[in-house]
Every structure is written in C-alpha cells, then in structure tokens.
Amino acid sequence: MNEIKHAIQDDYPDDFAWCYGCGRLNEEGHHFRTGVDGEKTVTVYTPQPEHTALPGFVYGGLIASLIDCHGTGSAAIELHKLNGGSVGDGAEPPRFVTASLHVDFMKPTPHGVPLKAVGTVEKIHPKKFKVVTEVFAEGEICAKGEVVAVVMPETFLKKG
C-alpha cells in the first residue's frame, strides 16, 4: 500500500494542524499522512530534493521526523480505535505528543524514492503508547524507530 486514502491527520482539529511534520495547515511542512493497513499503520513520504545527508542519500533528521509524526499519528489511530472510532470517520481523534524518540539508522537511505514507514502500536497505559516503526525504501529496511507518545496535556494549547 503506497497511497494513504484516509489519514488520521486529516481529522486533527484545526488548532492541532500546525505541526511542521504532519500539520495540514502548515504550508511549509512535510504533510506526513498516516493511515491503516490491516493491523499496521503506514506513512508514505517522498523526500524533497533538498533533504539530503550526502548527495544520493536521505537526511537522517528527515527520517527521524517521519518516525516521530508517524508515531504520534499511529498512537492517535490506536486510541481512536479503542474509543470506538476509525480513521476517516470524521470524528476528532485524540491528540498525542512525543515523550521520546529513538532511531537506529541501519543502512544509507536512497534519495529520490518514496519512503514507507510501517508501525506497530502497543498500549503502555491508557494515555501512553509505544510505536515501533520500520522505514523501507524500495522494499529494503533502512531505519528502525521507536516512539513513546502520550496524550497531549491541556497546557500545550494555552501558549498559542
């Protein structure tokens, strides 16, 4: 699956849609979109020409960003499901923020092809989820990531 028809980020409320990674209202951002494929979550993104580490290879910080937003999006999908919702139902999904992010760069990631992040979500407790992600390019795994995502504290929205 390389096309995300319904993405959880499509239904984030407007005040939560400004993320540089996955906010649909952030014009300069990456617009990562995370959907469901069976028991897994999937985000597909083709890096821009400038997202290089060295010529021909993808910048690690972009891969970390992909794993980060794929992680919070996957956690939102999982809790939305546990709450009785589904991606694409138009209902406002829960909001998550990243507590920690880990990335193992397994091989140089070729530039110029779509990257596919595939995630598995595990509930740690009702407000805390772990998402293990594998990032593939041309069918080969290039990076492995782990995100611990927590339900966003209300205080986050006060500053804006």
- The contact set with a copy of itself (CB under 8 A) reads 15-16, 18-21, 23, 26-29, 48, 50-57, 59-62, 64-65, 68-69, 97-105, 108, 110, 155-157, 159-160
| Residue placing its CB nearer to a copy of itself in the complex, 53 or 120 | 53
Least Å distance between CB 89 and a copy of itself?
A: 23
Nearer of residues 88 and 110 to a copy of itself, judged by Cβ: 110
- Shorter beta-carbon distance to a copy of itself: residue 21 or 35: 21
Phi-psi region of 39 (alpha: psi -120 to 50; beta: other; left: phi over 0): alpha
Across 28-51, b (16+ Cβ under 10 Å) vs e yields ebbbbbbbbeeebbbbbbebeeeb
Specify the residue for token string 């339900």: 151
CB of 25 to a copy of itself, least distance (A): 10
Q: What is the nearest approach in angstroms of a copy of itself to the Cβ of residue 133?
A: 13
Distance CA 77, CA 8 (A): 6
Nearer to a copy of itself, 26 or 86 (CB): 26
> Min. distance of Cβ 101 from a copy of itself in angstroms?
5
Which residues, 6+ apart, have CB-to-CB distance to 156 below 8 Å?
Answer: 97
- The closest alpha carbon to 69, from 106, 107, 108, 23, belongs to 23
